[in-house]
Amino acid sequence: MNNTITSKDLNKLNSKKGIVQFLIDDDISVSKVLRNLNYESRLKSLQEELIKLQHWVEEKKEKIVIIFEGRDAAGKGGAIRRITQHLNPREFKVVALPKPTIEEKGQWYFQRYINQLPREGEIVFFDRSWYNRAIVEPVNGFCSKNEYEIFMSQVNQFERMISESGMRLVKFYFSISKDEQERRFEDIKTSPLKKWKYSPVDQKALELWDNYTYYKKKMFKVTNTKVAPWVIIKANKKTKARVEAIEHLLDIMPYKPKDQEVIEHIEIEEKEID
């Protein structure tokens, strides 16, 4: 980051938000404060556009499905929280399904996900989705080889049906490095507020890293289609990943009025913010 402090930077540092950051963190630098403030400013501008997007979805009775996939601790939930932070809670829902019940295990695999798809005027965010069967389940032995192969043979047609029924489907994959996943797991395990997130599946994630990679590549090869392409977000920097996901979502949706200048990418040096 350029070490020159502009008058605009000074105004940011002297703001209430800037002063608060210096007070709550003894080990913070001017550059880190500026990165935080730039991120918060950028996020606010994009969230204002998200509100316009939601109004358009309601008015035009659109149906939007947004999938967030990625390795454990990749930042999927944090991205969803920033996207939905200022939206009308009556017009969206976040779906994070638990493991299937005995009854659900006897159903067609996609059935419980179909039950969560949006009505007219609604946005649905899947914090993990039917793609559990593409990676997590085969890696951890939660499905048979036959169940996996059936899923892989059906998923593209399933997504085509979703799209042809009038739903707009967006698929995000948050990609992190092995070192970053390990660092985040350590942070989760040592935090009284986060350690509940550390599941038995998480405990084996690093050990099974290569298996996850194998199935991830197979998933991309088969399911990265013209109808439903994957959007890969490099997520080692949480704040940068959140901004990029929102930018992409706003860019591809034909909502009006749209401020294209706000949506266009602005490079921000990021500090990890929980």
- Tens digit of each residue's pLDDT (9 = 90 or more) over 231-250: 999 999 999 999 999 999 99
- Maximum Cα interatomic distance, the chain, rounded to a whole number of Å: 64
**Beta-strand pair 92-95/167-175:** unpaired
Mean pLDDT of 59-79: 98
Q: Is the pLDDT of residue 91 over 70?
A: yes
- Tens digit of each residue's pLDDT (9 = 90 or more) over 160-191: 999 999 999 999 999 999 999 999 999 999 99
Q: What is the pTM of this model?
A: 0.87
Domains and CATH numbers, the chain: 7-263 (3.40.50.300)
The rounded distance, in Å, linking the Cα atoms of 236 and 71 is: 12
Greater model confidence, 47 or 261: 47
| C-beta separation of 34 from 1 below 8 A | yes
User: Which range has the worst mean pLDDT, 8-12, 162-166, 268-272?
Assistant: 268-272
* Helix ranges, the chain (H): 7-13, 16-24, 30-60, 76-84, 102-105, 111-114, 136-140, 145-164, 178-190, 200-205, 209-223, 238-252, 260-263
Query: pLDDT class for 31, splitting at 50, 70, 90?
Result: low
Q: What is the reported pLDDT for 24? A: 62
- Tens digit of each residue's pLDDT (9 = 90 or more) over 148-166: 999 999 999 999 999 999 9
Closest CA to 230 of 53, 62, 57, 68: 68
Query: In percent, how much of the chain has pLDDT > 90?
Result: 79
